[in-house]
Structure 1
Amino acid sequence: MENKVVPATTKYPDKPITLIVPFGVGGGIDLVARTVEKSASTHLGQPLVVVNKPGGTGTIGWNEVAGAPPDGYTLAMTGIEIILQPLYGPTKYHYPSALDPIAQITELSLIMAVQSDQPWNSLEDLINYAKKHPGEVKFGHPGIGGINHVLGETFAKAANIQLEQVPFQSGAEAMSNLLGGHIQVVFLNPAAVKEQLKSGKVKALALGGEKRLTDPVFANIPTFREQGLDVVCNSWNGIAAPKGLPDDVKKKLSQGIKKVIDDPEFQKNMENLGLQITYLGPEESEEKWLTDSQKLTKTVQETGIAEKIKEQKK
């Protein structure tokens, strides 16, 4: 089908813009999208409508966006999984080249948490338990091959223990299964853990970042490295569009999204979620995609995780 030429008189945007979240409601990436949605109409001139399309650890939603017309009316929330997914085998689209980054909004240090009534108060406690009870400890995450899953497998390998992985459609679903006692551990982004940590229902054992978080709720969580394991797994969330946006549309969109991110109200809402804003524009985001791709290719190959995940996906 031929791409129709949009007449120059059309003012972008002149109708609501769809923002597809490729994970379920209530997870970290969904909470970021809904925070963007709140401030969007003021700065974009049209409302942003969040639509959840979970499944395939992001691929269902990203396939839809990659195949949508590049007119600026269909956008995607992105996570580091757009880079990870093609490393495990062919995907319908090669997301890093089928999508165009508009902005990175936040960088995330993932948190490893357990139910408060578990006897483990440190990584060492959990590792010792897992060594005595191989395969008994199950960890939950929002999808096979996602960064949360990669962190879980990287930790298990570094600690030389056997953990069973259990995939869910969102961080919220993984958390409710942790609270229900169906799994023993979760690897989730800070926004998906914050309320349960504050209420004392869960306790955090480790942080996947290079350094500790500044938010008071998370400030006491030690990194894996502080506890003697060389494990670092960070994620990020951003917004992307189908490849091939007209220059003027891309410019207007990236300027509008930047205004949303600069909005004090937006920044306050993100802080309430426990997330730190790390804005990158389209060019810097593209560079980040490249460097992360090189790093993660190395990680998943060297650790044997790529092979393991291919098996688990079957």
Structure 2
Amino acid sequence: MENKTVTETKKYPDKPITLIVPFGVGGGMDLVARLLEKTAPAQLGQPLVILNKPGGTGAIGWNEVVGATPDGYTLGITGIEVLLQPLYGPTKFHYPTALEPLVQISESPMVMAILAEQPWENLDDFIAYAKQHQGKIKFGHSGIGGIGHVAGESFSKAAKLNLEQVPFQSAAEAMTNLLGGHVQVAFLTPALANEFVKSGMVRILGVAGEHRLSNPDFANTPTFKEQGLDVVGSSWFGIAAPKGLPIEVKNKLADGFKAMINDPEFQKNIEQLGLQVTYLDPKESAEKWLKDSQRLTKTVQETGIVEKIKEQKK
């Protein structure tokens, strides 16, 4: 029986690999998956078959990945939500322990966007104004409990402000409402703000990352940490498998995805989406999941997001 497993593993993969995208067509995760799809046959020896399974803020798709046979033929694209979901109440599976990270592809810290026509030239101006108008300023984000919401509440708490959060169906909708003046601030990814920053319609007051963005359009925008506020919140994309992959299969996948991410064409296309390639191997990804989980657990408790989600579910 043992020999049979070794023989089977050696010829892995001998059929297409399904990559489950737990969100709809056209979103950030889906676009990244389709870029991987282009280079998969060359680097993995088999095509990737993209399967969109939206719903439950990622839960429906990830449940399917966790429940799949750990043979390397069913994988899932992951995001920060795999860590956030279990913090808000019972999920069918505890994703951070039921999934095995293979690679991190990209990371994008949230940015704080305002309309350029607003009188606030910098973060200090904004905080001074908001303190004089407590409860009058609204910030938009892509949904209760998402990383944009977490970043916004973290900022409110760190700056000792009382900002009113306004959830939308997507970050794109939050941006539309910022442009329309329905909210004064939006917390979203640089990719969504990029064209409006270029055109001069939107100004970025802070980056919720450990470092400034490498994108030239954002290079002069300081992080919140540089401005004395401990606000960190990044959206990232990775690939994970159900727990229990044979080590040879895991290594083959990890090497294949590393080659795909290092492909210059892939990197160029990722940057065109407004994302930054931030490659992590399986061990580094697992360490990142653990570190992020600990930080997020503390943040969602301290900012009262858990309570807001409970209220919403009632």
| Same fold by TM-score greater than 0.5 | yes
Provide the secondary structure at the position in 1 that maps to 2:206.
strand
On the 8 A contact 2:9/2:249 being kept in 1, the answer is no
Which one is further off, 159-168 or 127-136? 127-136
Q: Percent identity?
A: 70
Provide the secondary structure at the position in 1 that maps to 2:8.
coil
State the match for 2:285 in structure 1. Answer: 285
| CA deviations over 1:232-265 (Å, ceiling 9, x no partner) | 2234221111222233332222121111011111
What is the TM-score with the length of structure 1 in the denominator? Answer: 0.86
Provide the secondary structure at the position in 1 that maps to 2:183.
coil
Give the partner amino acid of 1:251.
N
State the match for 2:297 in structure 1. Answer: 297
State the match for 2:101 in structure 1. Answer: 101
Which one is further off, 90-99 or 197-206? 197-206
Counterparts in 2 of 1:143 and 1:22: CA distance versus 1, 3 Å: farther
Question: Equivalents in 1 of 2:71, 2:169: separation in Å?
Answer: 29
Provide the secondary structure at the position in 2 that maps to 1:8.
helix
Matches within 5 A, 1:1-314: 8=8, 11-314=11-314
Which one is further off, 294-303 or 198-207? 294-303
Count of aligned residue pairs for this structure pair:
310
Question: Equivalents in 1 of 2:283, 2:226: separation in Å?
Answer: 34
Counterparts in 2 of 1:211 and 1:283: CA distance versus 1, 3 Å: closer
Question: Equivalents in 1 of 2:42, 2:106: separation in Å?
Answer: 21
Q: How far apart are 1:99 and its partner, in Å?
A: 0.8
Counterparts in 2 of 1:234 and 1:259: CA distance versus 1, 3 Å: same
Give the partner amino acid of 1:222.
P
Q: How far apart are 1:169 and its partner, in Å?
A: 4.1
Question: Equivalents in 2 of 1:70, 1:168: separation in Å?
Answer: 36
On the 8 A contact 1:81/1:146 being kept in 2, the answer is yes
Q: How far apart are 1:182 and its partner, in Å?
A: 3.7
Provide the secondary structure at the position in 2 that maps to 1:204.
strand
Q: How far apart are 1:231 and its partner, in Å?
A: 1.7
Question: Equivalents in 1 of 2:136, 2:22: separation in Å?
Answer: 30
Provide the secondary structure at the position in 2 that maps to 1:130.
helix
What is the TM-score with the length of structure 2 in the denominator? Answer: 0.86
Give the partner amino acid of 1:94.
H
On the 8 A contact 1:22/1:52 being kept in 2, the answer is yes
Counterparts in 2 of 1:189 and 1:247: CA distance versus 1, 3 Å: same
Question: Equivalents in 2 of 1:254, 1:177: separation in Å?
Answer: 40
Question: Equivalents in 2 of 1:235, 1:163: separation in Å?
Answer: 22
On the 8 A contact 1:57/1:81 being kept in 2, the answer is yes
Counterparts in 2 of 1:173 and 1:46: CA distance versus 1, 3 Å: farther
On the 8 A contact 2:197/2:203 being kept in 1, the answer is yes
On the 8 A contact 1:29/1:237 being kept in 2, the answer is yes
Q: How far apart are 1:312 and its partner, in Å?
A: 4.0
| CA deviations over 1:127-162 (Å, ceiling 9, x no partner) | 344344444433232332222211111111122222
| CA deviations over 1:72-92 (Å, ceiling 9, x no partner) | 233222122212221222111
Question: Equivalents in 1 of 2:220, 2:26: separation in Å?
Answer: 25
Q: How far apart are 1:266 and its partner, in Å?
A: 1.2
On the 8 A contact 1:82/1:95 being kept in 2, the answer is yes
Give the partner amino acid of 2:94.
H
Q: How far apart are 1:212 and its partner, in Å?
A: 1.2
Counterparts in 2 of 1:122 and 1:111: CA distance versus 1, 3 Å: same
Counterparts in 2 of 1:38 and 1:182: CA distance versus 1, 3 Å: farther
Question: Equivalents in 2 of 1:215, 1:10: separation in Å?
Answer: 42
On the 8 A contact 2:9/2:248 being kept in 1, the answer is no
Which one is further off, 23-32 or 215-224? 23-32
Question: Equivalents in 2 of 1:23, 1:184: separation in Å?
Answer: 28
Q: What are structure 1's unaligned runs of at least 5 residues?
A: none
| CA deviations over 1:163-183 (Å, ceiling 9, x no partner) | 232334433333333334443
Q: How large is the Cα RMSD of the aligned pairs?
A: 2.7
Counterparts in 2 of 1:134 and 1:33: CA distance versus 1, 3 Å: farther
Question: Equivalents in 2 of 1:33, 1:111: separation in Å?
Answer: 23
